[in-house]
């Protein structure tokens, strides 16, 4: 026998040498026929065979990937895997690392569930309260966490009093000078922030001046964060602010600016400072191209997974549009940054108007390609690049290599050639666990079935004429529904007040009108005071007003303000649709169409009339009707 390495002692018996075998007419074995050493089969739970692979940086035409205990254990063309592993055929498909959205805002587990269904296995939240992130972290770590995308969070952002971030209806800590920076950073770390987001935005990009931090305060925050090991991301909307942020030492920028294309000097600065840019093109383009994201809702690969609320969100527009040149400048800047080697991080800013969690990252990828990135560079911007730039937080993911976390996305076709192929999702795995996309799709179908039932519901009894109230019977009453009630921000802890009364002279010499008097509290929170009409059988019970197209009413005021009309509907969740209407001292008739609000009124909960501007108010309302 032939032994490799040291020879064993020969036995005393007869030994046939190769020469003796040749003499007997037996051919000598060739070297290739010598026994080969074999490795034991790989222990794995899952193997994806014969798949095209984008590993986060490069494309492999054909290979296989084995997963065990939530980790990638091997990558190679001819893996030998132990019996018992689930085998996924990768022929005609492409395997990618799970996608990373580098700029979102997370308020609920449902958003993380939605993100994961669309292949986004990790989100970087850029401003959410600790009261929200705490329960979310527990949910992700808990038994149901397999169905939720992973996330990291900045927690509370750093901003000036009255600056961006203070307008959302809840109080947050703010800064007025650089001496406060160390304490601010320490407080965020104590709350669990994973990195620091800083606002340097005076509103000039949107033509509405707002307070912002001084540059020396921004610099102090960056220095304090770096001293504590935190990455810093600075929110900007202009090239001037972006330049100041980089000169102050920021690690990255949140948003590409849109006040003009980047100068050569800025691109060079960004390259030399080795910063990253989370461009958020998915939301920026919505500022110039209202309704453009509706194409995502209509995409046949994505549509079965988008519920009615998602379609409304994707169809939503910003209240103020920017000229097309602004977005062209943003696209030009992104292309220039890429060519200079500045790392770009795919990011959506979901759930701002025109975006939703998960699906909008596929829109973002297409926009990166539109800006001039090759498809492979766009894919890297959603995988390996954010993992590298947030290495302490995401170093275990973003690539398909042995030892990395098995966050994986399998799609039909080849997104390295056609970036829209990322939407043709075949399967998603989070830490090796396959996501139940079929169950999610069925739940969406059930939402549409319930929607169809609400659309088919009969109108409220007594609503046939459309008349709601003329206030001529000497009492605050309605022709149908649950009637009128005072409505204020006390519902969310506010202190605004209102009183409802009647006056004897209404519009067009009618015999009565509703009078609303009170005061709206000065507050950064949403605030309101007025009267709410409930069209359903009980307050906040949905009513089908689909037979009507518009709300008509007469109003007047004390000449100092406006009347706000808000429509609450079950389909909207907690946020109403609203319209501000200027009212003078004389009676005038006003019309609000449901179409202009973007509402199909089949599940209306309430119609609000009142004031939302801070200070005292006096308003009168008459002849309220639906037509």
Tokens representing 19 are 């020469």
Q: Which contiguous run of DSSP H or E holds residue 452?
A: helix 437-455
Q: What is the mean pLDDT of the chain?
A: 92
pLDDT (tens digit per residue) in 598-619: 899 999 999 999 999 999 999 9
pLDDT tops 90 at residue 164:
yes
pLDDT (tens digit per residue) in 448-493: 999 999 999 999 999 999 999 999 888 899 999 999 999 999 887 8
Strands 615-626 and 550-557: antiparallel
At which residue do the structure tokens 């160390």 appear?
Answer: 182
Q: For the chain, give the percent of residues with pLDDT over 70.
A: 94
pLDDT tops 80 at residue 188:
yes
Q: For the chain, give the percent of residues with pLDDT over 90.
A: 84
What's the rounded mean pLDDT across residues 540-567?
93
pLDDT tops 80 at residue 11:
no
pLDDT tops 60 at residue 18:
no
Distance CA 499, CA 130 (A): 37
pLDDT tops 80 at residue 409:
yes
- Give residue 133's pLDDT: 96
Strands 120-125 and 71-76: unpaired
pLDDT tops 90 at residue 509:
no
SS3 462: coil
Domains of the chain: 467-626 (2.60.120.260)
What's the rounded mean pLDDT across residues 279-297?
93
Greatest Cα pair distance, the chain, in angstroms, is 130
R_g over Cα of the chain? 31
At 425, the pLDDT band (50, 70, 90 cuts) reads very high
Distance CA 314, CA 606 (A): 24
Residues in contact with 223: Cβ distance below 8 Å, sequence separation at least 6, in sequence order = 181, 249
Q: Helix, strand, coil shares of the chain as percentages rounded to 5? A: 30, 25, 45
pLDDT tops 70 at residue 1:
no
530 neighbors 500 (Cβ within 8 angstroms) = no
Torsion of CA 55, 59, 65, 69, to 10 degrees: 0
What's the rounded mean pLDDT across residues 187-203?
97
- Give residue 527's pLDDT: 87
| pTM, two decimal places | 0.86
pLDDT tops 90 at residue 171:
no
What's the rounded mean pLDDT across residues 47-51?
98
What's the rounded mean pLDDT across residues 295-311?
96
pLDDT (tens digit per residue) in 87-143: 999 999 999 999 999 999 999 999 999 999 999 999 999 999 999 999 999 999 999
100 neighbors 398 (Cβ within 8 angstroms) = yes
- Give residue 22's pLDDT: 35
What's the rounded mean pLDDT across residues 176-184?
98
What's the rounded mean pLDDT across residues 544-567?
93
Distance CA 363, CA 355 (A): 9
pLDDT tops 60 at residue 20:
no
- Give residue 168's pLDDT: 83
Distance CA 29, CA 500 (A): 104
540 neighbors 606 (Cβ within 8 angstroms) = yes
At 23, the pLDDT band (50, 70, 90 cuts) reads very low
DSSP secondary structure letter of residue 279: -
At 38, the pLDDT band (50, 70, 90 cuts) reads low
pLDDT tops 90 at residue 291:
no
Of 583, 570, 575, nearest to 528 by C-alpha is 575
- Give residue 319's pLDDT: 80
pLDDT tops 70 at residue 16:
no
The lowest-confidence range among 21-25, 315-319, 403-407 is 21-25
What's the rounded mean pLDDT across residues 229-236?
98
Distance CA 176, CA 58 (A): 47
- Give residue 26's pLDDT: 41
């Amino acid at each position: 026998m032939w032994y490799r390495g040291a020879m064993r002692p020969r036995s005393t018996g007869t030994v046939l040498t190769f020469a003796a075998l040749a003499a007997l007419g037996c051919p000598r074995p060739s070297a290739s026929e010598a026994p080969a050493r074999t490795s034991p089969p790989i222990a794995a739970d899952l193997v994806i065979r014969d798949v095209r692979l984008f590993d986060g940086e490069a494309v492999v035409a054909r290979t296989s990937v084995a997963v065990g205990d939530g980790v990638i254990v091997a990558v190679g063309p001819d893996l030998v895997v132990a019996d018992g592993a689930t085998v996924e055929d990768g022929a005609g498909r492409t395997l990618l690392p799970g996608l990373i959205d580098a700029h979102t805002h997370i308020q609920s587990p449902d958003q993380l569930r939605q993100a994961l269904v669309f292949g986004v296995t990790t989100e970087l939240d850029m401003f959410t309260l600790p009261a929200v992130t705490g329960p979310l972290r527990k949910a992700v770590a808990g038994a149901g966490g397999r169905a939720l995308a992973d996330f990291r969070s900045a927690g509370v952002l750093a901003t000036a009093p009255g600056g961006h971030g203070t307008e959302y209806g809840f109080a947050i800590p703010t800064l007025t000078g650089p001496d406060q920076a160390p304490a601010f950073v320490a407080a965020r770390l104590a709350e669990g922030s994973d990195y620091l987001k800083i606002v340097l935005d005076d509103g000039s990009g949107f033509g509405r001046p707002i307070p912002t931090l001084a540059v020396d305060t921004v610099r102090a925050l960056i220095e304090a964060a770096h001293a504590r090991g935190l990455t810093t991301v600075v929110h900007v909307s202009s090239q001037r602010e972006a330049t100041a942020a980089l000169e102050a030492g920021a690690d990255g920028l949140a948003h590409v600016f849109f006040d003009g294309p980047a100068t050569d000097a800025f691109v060079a600065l960004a390259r030399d400072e080795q910063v990253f840019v989370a461009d958020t093109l998915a939301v920026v383009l919505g500022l110039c191209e209202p309704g453009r994201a509706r194409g995502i809702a209509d995409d046949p690969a994505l549509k079965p997974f988008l519920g009615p609320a998602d379609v409304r969100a994707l169809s939503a527009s910003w209240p103020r549009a920017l000229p097309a040149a602004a977005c062209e400048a943003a696209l030009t800047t992104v292309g220039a940054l890429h060519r200079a080697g500045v790392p770009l991080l795919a990011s959506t800013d979901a759930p701002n108007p025109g975006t939703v969690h998960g699906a909008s990252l596929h829109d973002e990828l297409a926009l990166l390609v539109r800006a001039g990135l090759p498809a492979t560079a766009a894919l890297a911007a959603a995988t390996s690049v954010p993992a590298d730039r947030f290495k302490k937080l995401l170093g275990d993911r973003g690539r398909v290599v042995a030892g990395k976390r098995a966050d994986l996305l399998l799609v039909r076709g080849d997104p390295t050639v056609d970036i829209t192929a990322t939407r043709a999702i075949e399967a998603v795995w989070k830490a090796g666990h396959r996501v139940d996309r079929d169950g999610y799709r069925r739940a969406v179908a059930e939402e549409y079935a319930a929607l169809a039932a609400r659309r088919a519901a009969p109108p409220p009894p007594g609503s046939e004429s459309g008349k709601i109230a003329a206030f001529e019977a000497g009492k605050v009453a309605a022709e149908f529904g649950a009637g009128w009630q005072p409505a204020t921000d006390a519902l969310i802890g506010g202190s605004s007040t209102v009183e409802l009364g009647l006056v004897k002279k209404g519009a067009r010499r009618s015999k009565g009108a509703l009078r609303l008097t009170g005061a709206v509290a000065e507050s950064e929170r949403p605030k309101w005071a007025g009267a709410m009409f409930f069209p359903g059988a009980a307050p906040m019970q949905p009513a089908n007003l689909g037979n009507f197209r518009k709300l008509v009413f007469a109003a007047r005021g004390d000449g100092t303000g406006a009347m706000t009309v808000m429509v609450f509907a079950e389909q909207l969740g907690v946020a109403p649709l609203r319209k501000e209407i200027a009212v003078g001292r004389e009676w005038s008739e006003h019309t609000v169409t449901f179409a202009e609000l973007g509402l199909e009124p089949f599940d209306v909960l309430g119609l609000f009339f009142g004031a939302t501007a801070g200070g005292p108010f006096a308003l009168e309302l008459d002849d309220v009707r639906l037509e």
